[in-house]
Amino acid sequence: MLFRTFGWSLAITVVGLVFAGLVWGWTGLAVVAILSVLEVSLSFDNAVINAGILRKLNAFWQRIFLTVGVLIAVFGMRLLFPIVIVAITAKISPVEAVRVAIDQPDRYQHLVTNAHPAIAAFGGIFLLMIFLDFIFEDRDIRWLGWLEKPLAKLGKLDMLSVVVALIALLVAAVTVATAVPLDGAHGTVDKTATVLLAGVGGMIAYLIVGGISGYFEDQLEDEEDDGDDGEQPAGQDGPQAAAGADGGRKNGKSMVGLAGKAAFFVFLYLEVIDASFSFDGVIGAFAITNQIFQMALGLGIGALYIRSLTVYLVRKGTLDDYVYLEHGAHYAIGALAVILLVTIKYEVNEVVTGLVGVVLIAAAYFSSVVRNRRHGENSGEPGERTEVTSGV
C-alpha cells in the first residue's frame, strides 16, 4: 500500500531531479531537492487537514483530488499564481509577467515580494477562520480540555469566529501593515488598505466556499436520516465514506462518500485550503532561488508528496486511530495564520514556520498514543466517541 500510494510521487521525483540535473546542472538539482523538502516540511499539517476532509468524499472525487487537484496545486499555485500576482500588482499583461520571470528574475522576485502583504493577509485570514471554527466547535473528543472546553462554550455565540478574525485583521492593519519595509530599498510604505482589502477577501472566500460545501453536506445528511426511517431514495448515497462492521452496508445500500454538488464544493474547499497553505512556500522559495521553473518544479514535487500523504492517511484510517492529530493540525493552522500576518512586516525564517507545525502535530500524535494505551485501545481501532481529554 505504501508503494502504491507514493509510487507516482517517487517516480516523478526521480524524473524531476534528473531533468533538473540535465538542464541546470548539480546546482539546479540541489535547489530543486531543497525546495521539495521545504514544501513538505511547511505543508505536513496541510496533509492532516486535507485527510480529514478527503475521507468524506467518494472514491471518484478522491481520484479527482489526486489528478486534477495535483495539476491545480503544481501548475496553478506554484507556477501560474505568482505570475498572476505579478501581472496584477505591476499592472502588466500575463505574457509580460512571464517574460519578466524568465528574463529578469531579480525584478520578478522584487514584484512578488512587494505583493506579499496582500498574499499574507488573504491566506492568513482564510487559515485563521479554519482554526477559529474548529476551536469554537463543541467536540466529543478534546485534546487540550482546559482550553477547548471554555472556548466551545464561547463558540455558542453566533459569528464569533468572524468577529475574532476581523479583530485580528484590524490589529494587523494598524500595526504591521502601516510601515512595511520596501524590498531592496530604504524606507517603508503604508499597506493598510491593501491588507484590509485582501483580508476581507480571504474571509469572503472562506465563507462562500466553506458555506456552500457545508450546506450540501447537510442536505445529504438530512436525506440519509430520512432514508433511515424507511427505504432510502434511489440513487441517493449517504455522506459517510467509512464502512461499519456490517461490511459497509446500511439499509441494504453501500455507504459511500460525498458525491455530486456536495463533493464538488468540498473539493473546491480543499483546493482553496491548499492554495492558502502554499503562500508561505512560494514566498519562502525566493530565499533559495528566483528561477521560476526551478521553483515550480521543486515546490511541485513537494506538493505531490503532500497529496500522496493525504491519501495514505485516509486509507490507513490514521485520523481515527490517533484522534488528536486533527487537533494538532488545526493548532498548526492557527500558528501559521498568525505567522503569515506577522510576515506582512517582519521576516520569519521558514525553518521556524515548518518546525511549529511539526512540533504541534508530533505532540498531538504522542498524546493520541498515550490516550490509546490508557483506554486499552489498539492502534487499529477507531477512537471512542466520548468526551475525552489528553490531560495535557
* Residues 57-101 pLDDT 10s: 888 888 888 788 878 877 777 778 788 878 887 788 888 888 888
Taking 60 as the threshold, does the pLDDT of residue 218 lie above it? yes
- Tell me, letter by letter, the H, E, C secondary structure of the chain: CHHHHHHHHHHHHHHHHHHHHHHHHHHHHHHHHHHHHHHHHHHHHHHHHHHHHHCCECHHHHHHHHCHHHHHHHHHHHHHHHHHHHHHHHCCCHHHHHHHHHHCHHHHHHHHHHCHHHHHHHHHHHHHHHHHHHHCCCCCECCCHHHHHHHHHHCCCCCHHHHHHHHHHHHHHHCCCCCEECCCCCCEECCHHHHHHHHHHHHHHHHHHHHHHHHHHHHHHHHHHHHHCCCCCCCCCCCCCCCCCCCCEECCEECCCECHHHHHHHHHHHHHHHHHHHHHHHHHHCCCCCCHHHHHHHHHHHHHHHHHHHHHHHHHCHHHHCCCHHHHHHHHHHHHHHHHHHCCCCCCCHHHHHHHHHHHHHHHHHHHHHHHHHCCCCCCCCCCCCCECCCC
pLDDT more than 90, % of the chain = 14
pLDDT digits (tens, 9 = 90+) for 99-115: 888 888 888 888 888 88
**Per-residue confidence at 320, pLDDT binned at 50, 70, 90?**
confident
pLDDT digits (tens, 9 = 90+) for 16-28: 999 999 998 898 8
pTM, rounded to two decimals: 0.77
Residue type, 233: P
Return the closest-CA partner of residue 240 out of 217, 222, 259, 257.
257
